[in-house]
Copies of this chain bind each other. A is one copy, B any other.
């Protein structure tokens, strides 16, 4: 056996013409063209009698700003990216909202980046509605939309490209403290950073008259639909909310943005991303939630986890690490 090096492995391929071991002697068939098409990104699992469908909205890739992680130097962030074989300076962000069928309610939790983004990005983002449809879930059949917080990747999908309702037959359940904060003109006027103003303006655009007609607020600690209980996880935004989905003896923690991408912020809960509005509070929430997940061996469904975004969590160094649940090809 020759030495196992990439150079040796590839040198064989380079000398292709003479190395063909099996020359074809059957009639030459027309080559099958490459399919060029990815599978629809959805995945289903049960929690007791509740059916969860993860439908990806896509993955964004973009150059990280110098202060993407505001309390950590860029080269430390780049080292963490290298550890998981990701390109330096580049952020890779999956968006994975879910649908929850409780038997009596068909809800979506968060809405993704919108049909507008689907068009703008040529289908790289904004796939949530089409992937739901591929999973057999018609947006018109959704009776409840549950919103975790008011950042664009969670709310923009409330509207189609023509600003009509994506879920025309659904009521829209929103966290009371989150709604209060973003609808407060005083808070808006005090939002100093450009990002703050941008987010406020986006919230006011999305929560138009038609959307506001459907909105009902819910309180932390309450069951918003049967089996889905709102958890107070403030910090990322003032009213940021997570959920426990529980049925029978089983339960999963839907973390929303308690952490952003796990390969950076689960491993390093002390890193404060610029989109954590109150970094210290977000970190405290993160540690509380993750300590609980570890202690209770509870699975987490993470909006920014790689699809299908369902994982266990273990302690790791000064932080935690996700262990993806094995893909189950049956339900």
Residues of A within 8 A of B (CB): 1-2, 4-6, 9-10, 12-13, 16, 19-22, 24, 26, 29, 31-32, 34-44, 51, 53, 56, 58-59, 83-85, 92, 94, 101, 103-106, 123-124, 127, 131, 134-137, 141, 143, 169, 171, 173, 216, 218-227, 229-232, 244, 246, 251, 253, 288-289, 291-292, 295-298, 306-308, 312, 314, 323-331
Return the 9 tightest CB-CB contacts between A and B, nearest first.
A21-B222, A4-B292, A6-B296, A307-B327, A85-B312, A306-B326, A32-B106, A34-B51, A21-B218
CA distance A36 to B52 in the complex (A): 10
The residue from B42, B127, B131, B251 contacting A9, defined by CB atoms under 8 A apart: B251
Q: Which residue of B lies closest to A31 (CB)?
A: B104
Pair B143/A326 contact, Cβ less than 8 Å: no
In the complex, chain B residues whose CB is within 8 Å of the CB of A84: 312, 323
Q: Assuming A2-B221, A21-B223, A37-B136, is B327 touching A308 (CB within 8 A)?
A: yes
The residue from B39, B101, B226, B230 contacting A42, defined by CB atoms under 8 A apart: B39
Pair A229/B171 contact, Cβ less than 8 Å: no
Pair A246/B85 contact, Cβ less than 8 Å: no
In the complex, what's the smallest C-beta–C-beta distance from A216 to chain B, in angstroms? 5
CA distance A36 to B31 in the complex (A): 37
The residue from B35, B56, B103 contacting A135, defined by CB atoms under 8 A apart: B35
Pair A224/B35 contact, Cβ less than 8 Å: no
The residue from B171, B219, B231 contacting A21, defined by CB atoms under 8 A apart: B219
List 13 extra interface pairs beyond A26-B171, A35-B135, A307-B327, CB under 8 A: A2-B221, A10-B244, A12-B222, A16-B227, A38-B43, A38-B44, A38-B331, A39-B135, A58-B330, A59-B329, A85-B297, A124-B329, A131-B329
In the complex, chain B residues whose CB is within 8 Å of the CB of A21: 218-219, 222-224, 230
**Best-surrounded residue of A26, A34, A124, A289 (most CB of chain B within 10 A):** A34
CA distance A107 to B225 in the complex (A): 48
Pair A324/B307 contact, Cβ less than 8 Å: no
In the complex, chain B residues whose CB is within 8 Å of the CB of A227: 13, 16
Pair B13/A244 contact, Cβ less than 8 Å: yes
Q: Which residue of B lies closest to A14 (CB)?
A: B246
Q: Assuming A36-B51, A94-B327, A331-B38, is B85 touching A19 (CB within 8 A)?
A: no
Q: Assuming A4-B289, A9-B251, A104-B31, is B326 touching A20 (CB within 8 A)?
A: no
